Amino acid sequence: MSIAFIGLGNMGGPMAHNLLKAGQKVYGFDLSEQALQQFAQAGGVVCQSPQEAARQAEVVISMLPAAKHVKDVYLGENGILSVLKAGAYCIDSSTIDPQTIQQIAEVAKARHIAVCDAPVSGGTLGAQAGTLTFMVGAEHDTLIAVSSVLKHMGSNIVHCGDVGTGQIAKICNNLILGISMAAVAEGMALGAQLGIDPQALAGVINSSTGRCWSSEVYNPWPGICPNAPASRGYRDGFAAQLMLKDLGLALQAAAQVDQSVVLGEFVQQYYQQLCDQGQGHLDFSNIIQHYLPEPALA
Ligand code: NAD
């Protein structure tokens, strides 16, 4: 199968790598020269534009920062929908609002191209290990067709319903994640300030009722989880600016249905402050900085 991969960043890069490892032919495009170099080293075919990649493809996967990038790649002046063959499948794994992907799917349907949303959970570690969870919004036939590609990048494929419902699942999940990371950071920082060894505290939390993904797999305190961004200077993870974007999507969706999201609104301010301080590119677990005097993490 020939696959076009648009957006080879922290997530898309390792996802494309796993497709190549599985023996798929992958045509890739990214705006970043460095991302393209790494993709070429892994055996991918570098293209000069999204259209050039899509022209060759039966399946397109996009993994882009936000809705405006996705809209531009699919529907823009040089958008891929105008060059894809009828019968092609498109999988957008970016985290965006449900309406944008529904709009793209409508345009695509008129050209006999099936578009689905398949945002992911599992972070950069899951992308590298090929153990992502895909939350798929698609018609049944599309789900069956795209599952044969998604299985090379993830270990869990969840059908959420029609196009757009994958994004609904994703933004609700990330609302919880943004809040739970802040909760773990608050508890870890308080424990350290009160004098307990952070390793001992994490050990207790992770065998007690405070346990969650943010405490066990992705602990914000350095050194607790050797593979987590906190243990490498909060680099190469899920950027705080992306978490801020996701909370914005959740709050916007909540406003549409008049639902209150008090905790979400509260932690949104903390991630906003990280971004305002020029730390938006660092992992979102860096939210722990809010709770500590500067030298405590040195
Ligand atoms: P990233 O910034 O590392 O990668 C995005 C890539 O898209 C960049 O390499 C950028 O150069 C490229 N790009 C931007 N515009 C482009 C265009 N027009 N054409 C081609 N390439 C373009 O971001 P990421 O961490 O890989 O996240 C990608 C998406 O996945 C986001 O929507 C994010 O919310 C979501 N996500 C990220 C994580 C994570 O842990 N990083 C986890 C789950 C979901």
Q: 108: exposed, middle or buried (C-beta count within 10 Å: 0-12, 13-18, 19+)? A: buried
Q: Which fold has domain 168-291?
A: N-(1-d-carboxylethyl)-l-norvaline Dehydrogenase; domain 2 (1.10.1040)
Whether 247 is in the pocket of ligand 1, judged by its Cβ within 6 Å, is no
Whether 171 is in the pocket of ligand 1, judged by its Cβ within 6 Å, is no
Predicted pLDDT of residue 292: 85
Q: Whose CA is nearest to atom 8 of ligand 1?
A: 9
Q: Whose CA is nearest to atom 25 of ligand 1?
A: 10
Domain spans, the chain: 2-162, 168-291
Predicted pLDDT of residue 68: 97
Domain 2-162 class, CATH top level: alpha beta
pLDDT tens-place string over residues 78-130? 999 999 999 999 999 999 999 999 999 999 999 999 999 999 998 888 999 99
Residue ranges in the chain whose pLDDT is less than 50? 295-296, 298
Predicted pLDDT of residue 279: 96
Predicted pLDDT of residue 298: 45
| CB-CB contact of 90 with 70 (8 Å) | no
Measure the CA–CA gap between 229 and 10, rounded to whole angstroms.
12
Predicted pLDDT of residue 232: 96
Predicted pLDDT of residue 294: 63
Given 68, 71, 151, 170, the catalytic residue: 170
pLDDT tens-place string over residues 34-60? 999 999 999 999 999 999 999 989 999
Measure the CA–CA gap between 145 and 298, rounded to whole angstroms.
49
Neighbour tally for 79: CB within 10 Å: 18
Predicted pLDDT of residue 281: 96
Q: Whose CA is nearest to atom 20 of ligand 1?
A: 30
